[in-house]
Structure 1
Amino acid sequence: MNNTIEILKNCGLSKNEAKVYVALLQLGSSKAGKISKLAQIDRTSTYNSLKLLIEKGLASYVIVGKVRWFQPAPPEKLLTLLNEKREGLVRIMPFLNAEYKEKKLEENVRLFKGLKGIRTVLEDIINEGKQNLVFGSEGQLEKNMPAFAQRFVQLLKKKRIKVMSLVREGRRDVSSKTAEIRFVPKTVKSNVVTNIYGNKIAIIIWSKTPEAILIENKTAAEAYRSYFSFMWGHAKKKT
């Protein structure tokens, strides 16, 4: 149930709208009071959510003896709404890209917070499509974002992105399936993972609230790449 609510929220519904819609699906056709009880939200919030769901085409009602009976639209309607949003976004994408390219600084530093921010940075590695040099990985991605970690590895394979990774000796790293691995001493531990790709450096800090710093600077990237090359030359080869 909780996972369903979260997915519906990601599709554009509020938490209460998602709860009411799921309650409607379970009840089929019902009065507001029963919907409110099943959704576990107050009557006023239920009515507000029903009104918004009706506006989105996800619910409707009929009047029987002066009483409104609400009923849900088929779940496929959610896909229709998402497709409409996507089509609208596709139409304005040329304008957005033009604005992005015109206003973007050639050298910049951006900060991302939370797991969604980390995902944005990792997706940038995929979109860049260039060799990725990694050090400091302790399997944090697999632990904190297991589903996305698998997809990330699949995308690396699909786009044939070469990965060279320095990992702590004695541990297995999921990325070893797609990366050339060398080892640093067991005593070298870190909650910070550095990725060097293209003219960018992505520093991911796996703290309680994960953060990522994305630096786009050709000179800095070349310097980091030089440091990595030195460490790689002194690291232990995989046997």
Structure 2
Amino acid sequence: MKIEEGLKNLGLAEKEAKVYIALVRLGRGSAQSVADESGIKRPTAYVILENLIDKGMAVKIPRARKKLYEAKPPDEFFAEAEERFALSKTILPELMAMADKTGPKFKTLYYEGEQNVKRMLSGINKKMAGKEILGFYARETENISSEMNEFFHQWNEDCKKNGITVRGLTPDDPSLEWYRKRTEYFGHVFKYLNMKDYSSECSIEIGDDFIQIFSLRYMQGVYMENPDVARTLRQIFEMVWAARPEKIEGALSEDK
């Protein structure tokens, strides 16, 4: 495949591809030198160079006596294109669900990466306002980013603001001590299970007609909209909740 055709496949117009290739060859150049290299008239080359700057594919050289341009390194451009494609691909299951005209409109969506997992988790605050979330929760993952930690603090505040209560089962692990001290403030009820019985590294949240499973260690999440699955997991949760002897409201496990 020719280089120009490959760039066009990435969304560049024909003349944009020619100008970008010319700028890569030159390394650095004025609108006139780019026009000469690409075979495009100077006024057109100037407009296209400005378009490439808007697309993040070129930059102006600061403090130059005349306007000079430099191409973004091709490896950086392709890495960003791959990242944009990966982010865009996360909406594919939802689009496919919209296109499916047969059967109930239930969705199963997959999320990967910190920003996408945040997006999945944020959705529950809209769906469950004024209701109770049930959950099998994980202990806190090591090396979680400060941004993700801040997100969870805000997530709990948003639950409180939206009248959402959480009833959960989670490992009796020191990493959750900060949360245990605020359980009553948030209006949540938890049983902390002996680590020998339950040492989960992933969490399952159960809503009215959906569940979501997420792993913060690998930054992956799955959202499944299905009332039968949600009802079954709610029943399993209630059986485990009733069977466990631990105290609630963040009390230490009596098994220790």
Q: Do they superpose with TM above 0.5?
A: yes
Q: In structure 2, how many angstroms separate the alpha carbons of the residues matched to 1:138 and 1:210?
A: 15
Helix, strand or coil for the counterpart of 2:135? strand
CA deviation string 1:57-76 (max 9, x = no partner): xx999xx97x2389xxxxxx
| Range with greater deviation from structure 2 (194-203 or 184-193) | 184-193
CA deviation string 1:156-204 (max 9, x = no partner): 1111101012111253355543221112122111111100012111011
Deviation of 1:151 after TM superposition, in Å, equals: 1.5
Q: In structure 2, how many angstroms separate the alpha carbons of the residues matched to 1:184 and 1:195?
A: 17
Change (3 A) 1:54 1:192: closer
Helix, strand or coil for the counterpart of 2:229? helix
Report sequence identity in percent.
16
Structure 2: segments with no counterpart, 5+ residues? 1-25, 35-47, 70-96, 252-256
Partner of 2:214: 204
Q: In structure 2, how many angstroms separate the alpha carbons of the residues matched to 1:150 and 1:162?
A: 15
Which of 227, 237, 243 is residue 234 of structure 1 equivalent to?
Answer: 243
Change (3 A) 1:115 1:154: same
Q: In structure 2, how many angstroms separate the alpha carbons of the residues matched to 1:192 and 1:60?
A: 47
Counterpart residue type for residue 233 of structure 2: Y
Change (3 A) 1:214 1:51: closer
Q: In structure 1, how many angstroms separate the alpha carbons of the residues matched to 2:121 and 2:52?
A: 35
Change (3 A) 1:109 1:173: farther
Helix, strand or coil for the counterpart of 1:140? coil
Structure with more of its chain in strand, by fraction: 1
Partner of 2:121: 122
Partner of 1:108: 107
Structure with more of its chain in helix, by fraction: 1
Change (3 A) 1:102 1:193: same
Largest Rg, 1 or 2: 2
Q: In structure 2, how many angstroms separate the alpha carbons of the residues matched to 1:142 and 1:124?
A: 24
2:232 corresponds to 1:223: yes
* Contact map agreement 1:153 1:175 (CA 8 A) in 2: no
Counterpart residue type for residue 118 of structure 1: V
Partner of 1:36: none
Deviation of 1:138 after TM superposition, in Å, equals: 0.7
* Contact map agreement 1:111 1:214 (CA 8 A) in 2: yes
* Contact map agreement 2:107 2:224 (CA 8 A) in 1: yes
Helix, strand or coil for the counterpart of 2:67? strand
Aligned length, in residue pairs: 165
| Range with greater deviation from structure 2 (103-112 or 119-128) | 103-112
Helix, strand or coil for the counterpart of 2:205? strand
Deviation of 1:148 after TM superposition, in Å, equals: 1.1
